[in-house]
Structure 1
């Protein structure tokens, strides 16, 4: 009895001074997330998060993952729902949307602004609306590995760059691109 009371008090204190993150709430509602999940300014379908499974080493940036489609609700009285499975080592770029009933394989890069409406195979780079395979992840990474040799590379993490470093980089990248930490 006392143990339950202490646990209850600890839970209330934690919620008051250390509120749960959005991901913690979604996991409590059934979202499955692997190790090393990076979730930046994005949205996961709160009402149907229990239909979503996200693998290891996944990054989602300013995007939405939906497990329902309410376009039929007004006309049919029901919303379409479907599972969403995102594999391991997936990057979902800025302002993308993953719709319900979609499987994204392992080692997939989803370009910024893509709308994923159908399954994506392993080792794919996809882009567009609707998202289409535009290449292989392995080829994309090989090109950029070579670029790391040929292009300018900067090794100071962005919050620690001095004004002088930023001015130098701005000038050096006037007509080209480079890589940053």
Structure 2
């Protein structure tokens, strides 16, 4: 009985730590979030300065990305904490585990690759990646490359996604067809 109570208490504490602060809390404190956004679980917004964060319309932020509006590394050096606005413009995409530093604007339609550390603003329509993030290509060039690739690569419909509970045969087919190349869900 005591073990079940402790497990319940641990699960409630874990839920509070991981889920308690969510969009409604940040918005109430002044963070701006546009319409039609897809903000995945585990995204971390700078709670202490969240009113400096502005997210446009139709923005996607992948799991475990960080948006930071302050940088306390300056505190021990000069006695002050550096702060800056973070603006994610319409239709931008922030990849999983990307870090957006204070004072950065991610331009309209830009893509930030997973795991990138963005220390400077990203131009509209650019794709950036790395640490520190640098422009890799432009969205228009990437789109052309994708359209060529999708026509020569394996394609799968929604029956191959978790939402449709794919059969073991479908899963194995996907594994086989993607052995040495990329594919697409259409």
| Both proteins in one fold, TM over 0.5 | yes
Distance 1:145 1:57 in 2: 22
1:99 and 2:101 equivalent?
Answer: yes
Distance 2:20 2:87 in 1: 24
Please provide the CA RMSD for this pair. 1.5
Number of the residue aligned with 2:38? 38
Residues 10-89 of structure 1 correspond to what in structure 2 (within 5 A)? 22-40=22-40, 41-61=42-62, 62-89=64-91
1:159 and 2:179 equivalent?
Answer: no
CA displacement, residues 35-76 of structure 1 (integer Å, 9 cap, x when unaligned) = 111111210100101001111111111210000000122333
Distance 1:34 1:73 in 2: 33
Distance 2:184 2:52 in 1: 37
- Secondary structure in 2 matching 1:48: helix
Q: When the two structures are superposed, what TM-score results if normalisation uses the length of structure 1?
A: 0.85
Ranges in structure 1 where 5+ consecutive residues have no aligned partner = 1-18
Distance 1:20 1:71 in 2: 27
Distance 1:37 1:103 in 2: 17
Q: Do the aligned partners of residues 111 and 71 (structure 1) sit closer, same or farther apart at CA in structure 2, a change above 3 Å counting?
A: same
CA displacement, residues 119-171 of structure 1 (integer Å, 9 cap, x when unaligned) = 11111000111100110011112211222221111112333211110011101
Number of the residue aligned with 2:176? 171
Number of the residue aligned with 1:13? none
Number of the residue aligned with 1:124? 126
Ranges in structure 2 where 5+ consecutive residues have no aligned partner = 1-18
Q: When the two structures are superposed, what TM-score results if normalisation uses the length of structure 2?
A: 0.83
